[in-house]
Amino acid sequence: MSILHGRKQVGDLVLETDVVVVGSGAGGAVVAAELADAGQRVIVVEEGPYHTPEAMGAMKPSESLRHVWRAASMTAAVGIGNSPVINVMMGRCVGGSSVVTGGVCFRIPEQVLARWSGEMGLSELTPQGLEPHFEAVERAIHVETVPADMRSRSTTLFGAGAKRLGFELSPIRRNTHKCRGRSKCNFVCPHGAKRSVDVTYLPRAAKAGTRILADALVDQVLLAGDRAVGISGALLDETGRRRSSLTIAARRVVLAAGAWHTPIILRDSGIGRASRQVGRNMTLHPSVRVVGEFDELVDGWEGAMQSAFTDALQKDRLTLMSIFVPQSILGATMPGAGPEFMRKAGRIRHLAIFGGMVHDEGGGRLWRGFGREPVVTYRMAPQDRAALSKLIRVLAEAYLAAGARKVYLPVFGLEGVDAAGLKALDFDRLPGRKIECTSQHPLGTCRMGVDPKTSVVDPDGETWDVRELYIADGSILPTSLGVNPQVGVMAMAARIAWKLRDRKLPDRR
């Protein structure tokens, strides 16, 4: 795939095109491929660097954190009130967060679409309305069911405990082909088995003539009256510092910089002030994991990193899901120091891990920071905080029911506990800041709606305030999903792209 590297460009860069797509992740890649296939001239602008799949696959997890992840995974939402601080992870490279996913694929659940199309008035967003888009995306990224024999021992132990508690695991679907099961997906698949957009949609877009510009940060949308006519920004060096300017004149602009960054571009362009909705309504799917320590050898990294889930606790707004991390990361994140740390690290082969997420109501808000990254605050709704307590308890109970001698809970400063120790804990009373919480799914900061007073884009993805400016990433999702969002984000992007294929491009300015 031919890439224009901003770091190698000499001097300022001025380009012209039909459509400029900002961001090369799950949403942006889909739009670029669909529009290029329809004969439109497309440029994709990506802040992060480009690495070939082979180079990324050969990186150690610590190198991958530095070169492929945003801010080495140190971005966080600051908890307000009794909310935990939430470590929010994202990709920053050609392919965006798609490159670092666990590969888990879910369609947007029917009950979520019922809310969007009913209560929220987005009448086209029904299972039938989105069916062709889901199908096209699933075909393009090769979504397949993870066979039961790919489940790790870590997962089968959890499944056995869950069964004793009265619920069963179901297989997950993932965007993989010839997966060998090595649990390294979040640090880029070493075998090219994960069909992320850098090996699917972007090569397709490039083949159809799309120019992909890496190391290029978009600051603003250029406007002529109430119409978008291009973007301006900067070319970056290897360290992410600005080295020269970038201007692209375009007949149409599509923002797909993700829910964490698209709102910053809008704000810096002075767009969306009237509704005061830009950067609000962020949902995160707050997630935790629990570690079970068993007498037997588990070697939890043998198997697909994510292979099974359960929605049995959907009424509690919880989804439980298998997960694992490479040994080096597991070792590095174990608590303690000195001989005590060595003792714990020596038990790594006996550890099993399972996680889960809360189908949250929102409470995230994005503020302009002084530097590149925004400041994000998150006030967890009381019912979500209660759901988080329940999630930790049920994960721990399942491993104890499966015979774990101890469970390690996502609570800072707490040592492993047995069944009696777990019973004595009251998670509802625990200060939020003591809970170790993560998110891989920021969504909703430029939500779609039918009313310009309460949303940022209309039902076709065009911003209410500026014509020919569209958004096609996780920021337009009107609520959280309760399941991993990549297929939902891509299907929504495909829907917008298909509308744009048929919508006449405006004349050049």
355 binds, among ligand SF4, ligand FAD, none (CB under 5 to 8 A by kind): none
Which position has the token pair 């991993």?
A: 484
In the residue annotation, 441 being an active-site residue is answered as yes
**Site residues (CB under 6 A) for ligand SF4, limited to 276-305:** 304-305
Q: Which stretch binds ligand FAD (CB under 6 A): 3-11, 41-49, 310-318, 398-406?
A: 41-49
Q: How far is CA 295 from CA 278, 346, 404, in A?
A: 51, 13, 7
**Cβ–Cβ under 8 Å, residues 434 and 411:** yes
Would you count residue 142 as binding ligand SF4 (CB under 6 A)?
Answer: no
Tell how strand 211-214 and strand 42-45 pair up: parallel
Would you count residue 191 as binding ligand SF4 (CB under 6 A)?
Answer: yes
Would you count residue 444 as binding ligand FAD (CB under 6 A)?
Answer: no
Would you count residue 194 as binding ligand SF4 (CB under 6 A)?
Answer: yes
- Least distance CB 47 / ligand SF4 (angstroms): 25
CA distance 8 to 13: 11
Would you count residue 185 as binding ligand SF4 (CB under 6 A)?
Answer: yes
Q: How far is CA 324 from CA 155, 263, 303, in A?
A: 9, 32, 9
Q: Which of 67, 142, 285, 441 is catalytic?
A: 441
Q: How far is CA 22 from CA 43, 95, 96, 149, in A?
A: 8, 12, 11, 40
438 binds, among ligand FAD, ligand SF4, none (CB under 5 to 8 A by kind): none
Would you count residue 363 as binding ligand FAD (CB under 6 A)?
Answer: no
Among 373, 357, 223, 382, smallest CA distance to 284 is for: 357
- Least distance CB 261 / ligand FAD (angstroms): 3
Would you count residue 24 as binding ligand FAD (CB under 6 A)?
Answer: yes
Would you count residue 214 as binding ligand FAD (CB under 6 A)?
Answer: no
Establish how many alpha carbons lie within 13 A of residue 182's alpha carbon, considering only the half-sphere containing its beta carbon: 15
Q: Which stretch binds ligand SF4 (CB under 6 A): 38-46, 178-186, 218-226, 373-381?
A: 178-186
3-state secondary structure of 359: coil
CA distance 3 to 229: 24
CA distance 154 to 109: 27
Can you say how many angstroms the Cα of residue 82 is from the centroid of all Cα atoms in its chain? 24
Q: Which stretch binds ligand FAD (CB under 6 A): 23-31, 129-137, 242-250, 335-343?
A: 23-31
Which residues on neighbouring strands pair with residue 43, listed in sequence order? 20, 211
Size of the site for ligand FAD (CB under 6 A): 41
Token pair in block for residue 243: 């080295």
Q: How many residues does the chain have?
A: 509
- Least distance CB 190 / ligand SF4 (angstroms): 6
Which residues on neighbouring strands pair with residue 378, listed in sequence order? 79, 364
Pick the binder of ligand FAD from 138, 198, 293, 473 (CB under 6 A).
473
**Cβ–Cβ under 8 Å, residues 193 and 174:** no
Would you count residue 360 as binding ligand FAD (CB under 6 A)?
Answer: no
Q: How far apart are the first and last CA of the chain?
A: 31
CA distance 292 to 409: 9
CA distance 136 to 344: 46
The DSSP 8-state label assigned to residue 206 in this structure reads H
Which residues on neighbouring strands pair with residue 237, listed in sequence order? none
- Least distance CB 174 / ligand SF4 (angstroms): 7
Would you count residue 153 as binding ligand SF4 (CB under 6 A)?
Answer: no
Token pair in block for residue 302: 């043998």
**Site residues (CB under 6 A) for ligand FAD, limited to 166-205:** 186
210 binds, among ligand SF4, ligand FAD, none (CB under 5 to 8 A by kind): none
48 binds, among ligand FAD, ligand SF4, none (CB under 5 to 8 A by kind): ligand FAD
Would you count residue 66 as binding ligand SF4 (CB under 6 A)?
Answer: no
Token pair in block for residue 314: 């959907």
**Site residues (CB under 6 A) for ligand FAD, limited to 228-267:** 256-259, 261, 265
180 binds, among ligand SF4, ligand FAD, none (CB under 5 to 8 A by kind): ligand SF4
x/- letters, 77..116, toward ligand FAD (CB under 6 A): ------------xxxx---xxx-xxxxx------------
Identity at 344, one-letter amino acid code: K
Pick the binder of ligand SF4 from 6, 181, 362, 432 (CB under 6 A).
181
- Least distance CB 416 / ligand FAD (angstroms): 26
Would you count residue 172 as binding ligand SF4 (CB under 6 A)?
Answer: no
Q: Which stretch binds ligand SF4 (CB under 6 A): 20-28, 185-193, 373-381, 392-400?
A: 185-193
CA distance 180 to 413: 36
Token pair in block for residue 384: 């979500």
Interface residues toward ligand SF4, by CB under 6 A = 103, 176, 179-185, 189, 191, 193-194, 304-305
Q: Which residues bind ligand FAD (CB under 6 A)?
A: 22-28, 45-48, 89-92, 96-98, 100-104, 186, 217-218, 256-259, 261, 265, 440-441, 473-474, 484-487, 489
Active site residues: 441
